[in-house]
């Protein structure tokens, strides 16, 4: 029995085939979305990825991770925050009809949570919260060994939990939510603003703040990304360390609050920002521990499947169809 796993990310698309029960891909194809992508171009690229994979073989079922809100009961996409034209697309039925096999669609955070639970850092745990800290911050639940999606599929939105009501304003309109403080692009933006506004400021030892950051982008501040901030922090850049610590603080407060509320066994963290090294993880763990009540126990661990968590979760969806 062959299963087809699809991942519609905000900027990239991936498809993979696997034999049910196997942990090795039969084939794996990926591509970037077009610069002026819409739902149709995404679907066309995905069709070509599937075509390259299939070689005439028909899968028994399709599992799909979608980067945006989905009604998992109907498999209908609500919208994508990155790509226009996805509003109300019945992705599950569309794929089921086109390929003549059952399909199942859910949003990427829920699917990644399922992937980590079935195949990764959440194996054997009845309750866990998966958090991705990347372009955005989102989460997915496993409770009683099953995905918990909420009354209308909206559960898991730790990204817009307010942790500092006097913090900077987020696109969502609120101040100081976790995503505003911990996501890669916002971190990059804040660091860039400091460098632009205080170009001549020097630290205690006479060096300029953010010197490593400036060097990493050859002085072109527009090139600073979340990843650059992480790299600069790893190299000891004071400014980068400061903003990564703030990100870790925000995430730690969020995790501690969630631990008090739901008391899951494990938190599994994935996404680019979590690759920022032990300094970042230390802050996250310390602040989460301080924020949770002393009687509330939990572990915070790194995602085991990395960027493939949504694809492996899609395999789990296809297994259960």
Residue numbers at the binding site for a copy of itself (CB under 8 A): 69, 78, 126-127, 139, 141, 143-144, 148-158, 160-166, 172-174, 253, 256-258, 260-265, 290-291, 293, 295-298
Buried b or exposed e, range 60-88, using 16+ CB within 10 angstroms: ebbbbbbbbbbbbeebbbbbbebbeebee
Smallest gap from Cβ 169 to a copy of itself, in A, equals 13
Provide Rg for the chain, Cα atoms: 20
Residue 133's beta-bridge partner residues? 137
Which residue number, 252 or 271, has a Cβ lying nearer to a copy of itself?
Answer: 252
- For a copy of itself, the closer of residues 169 and 172 by Cβ is 172
Are residues 7 and 108 in contact, defined by beta-carbon separation less than 8 angstroms?
Answer: yes
**Shortest Å distance, C-beta 240 to a copy of itself:** 23
Contacts of 75 (CB under 8 A, 6+ apart): 64, 90, 91, 92, 93, 103, 104, 105
CB nearer to a copy of itself: pick between 1 and 293 = 293
Instruction: Give the integer Cα–Cα distance in Å for 272 and 295.
Output: 31
Encoded tokens for 221: 């501040």
Count Cβ atoms below 10 Å from residue 5 Cβ, excluding itself: 29
Indicate the residue among 256 and 313 with the shorter CB distance to a copy of itself.
256
Choose between 20 and 293: whose C-beta lies nearer to a copy of itself.
293
Q: How far apart are CA 298 and CA 293, in angstroms?
A: 11
State the nearest-atom distance from the C-beta of 201 to a copy of itself, in Å. Answer: 26
Find the shortest distance in angstroms from Cβ 297 to a copy of itself: 6
- Burial zone of 112 (CB within 10 Å; 0-12 exposed, 13-18 middle, 19+ buried): buried
Q: Minimum Å distance from CB 189 to a copy of itself?
A: 21
3-state secondary structure of 301: strand
Reading the block at residue 173, the tokens are 């309109």
* Smallest separation (angstroms) from a copy of itself to the CB of 220: 35
Chain-centre distance of CA 203, in angstroms?
A: 35
Q: Residue 93 or 164: which CB sits closer to a copy of itself?
A: 164
Judged by CB, which is closer to a copy of itself: 17, or 300? 300
Is the Cβ of residue 84 or residue 150 nearer to a copy of itself in the bound state?
150
| Helix (H), strand (E) at residue 115 | helix 108-119
Least distance CB 27 / a copy of itself (angstroms):
36
**Cβ closest to a copy of itself, residue 107 vs residue 274:** 107
Q: Which residues contact 220 (CB under 8 A, 6 or more apart)?
A: none
What minimum distance in Å lies between the beta carbon of 309 and a copy of itself? 20
- Return the SS3 of 235: coil
- Cα separation, 83 vs 299, in Å, equals 35
CB of 231 to a copy of itself, least distance (A): 29
Which among 268, 286, 293 is positioned nearest to 132, based on CA atoms?
A: 268
């Amino acid at each position: 029995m062959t299963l087809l796993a699809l991942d519609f990310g905000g900027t990239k698309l991936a498809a993979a085939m696997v034999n049910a029960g196997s942990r090795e891909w039969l084939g794996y194809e990926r591509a970037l979305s077009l610069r002026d992508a819409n739902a149709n171009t995404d679907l066309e690229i995905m069709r070509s990825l599937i075509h390259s994979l299939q070689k005439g073989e028909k899968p028994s079922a399709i599992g799909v991770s979608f980067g945006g809100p989905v009604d998992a009961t109907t498999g209908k996409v609500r919208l994508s925050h990155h790509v226009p034209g996805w509003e109300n697309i019945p992705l599950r039925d569309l794929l089921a009809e086109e390929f003549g096999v059952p399909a199942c669609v859910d949003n990427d955070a829920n699917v990644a949570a399922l992937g980590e639970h079935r195949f990764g850092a959440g194996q054997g745990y009845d309750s866990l919260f998966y958090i991705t800290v990347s372009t955005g911050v989102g989460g997915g639940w496993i409770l009683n060994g099953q995905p918990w999606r909420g009354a209308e599929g909206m559960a898991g939105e730790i990204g817009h939990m307010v942790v500092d009501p006097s913090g900077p304003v987020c696109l969502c309109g609120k101040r100081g939510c976790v995503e505003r403080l911990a996501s890669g692009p916002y971190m990059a933006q804040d660091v860039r603003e400091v460098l632009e506004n205080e170009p001549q400021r020097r630290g205690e030892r006479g060096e300029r703040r953010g010197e490593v950051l400036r060097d990493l982008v050859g002085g072109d501040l527009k090139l600073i990304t979340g990843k650059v901030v992480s790299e600069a922090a790893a190299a000891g850049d004071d400014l980068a360390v400061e903003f990564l610590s703030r990100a870790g603080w925000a995430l730690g407060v969020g995790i501690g609050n969630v631990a008090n509320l739901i008391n899951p066994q494990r938190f599994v963290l994935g996404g680019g920002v979590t690759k920022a090294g032990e300094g970042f993880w230390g802050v996250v763990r310390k602040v989460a521990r301080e924020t949770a009540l002393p009687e509330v126990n939990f572990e915070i661990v790194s995602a085991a499947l990395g960027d493939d968590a949504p694809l492996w979760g899609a395999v789990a969806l296809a297994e259960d169809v």
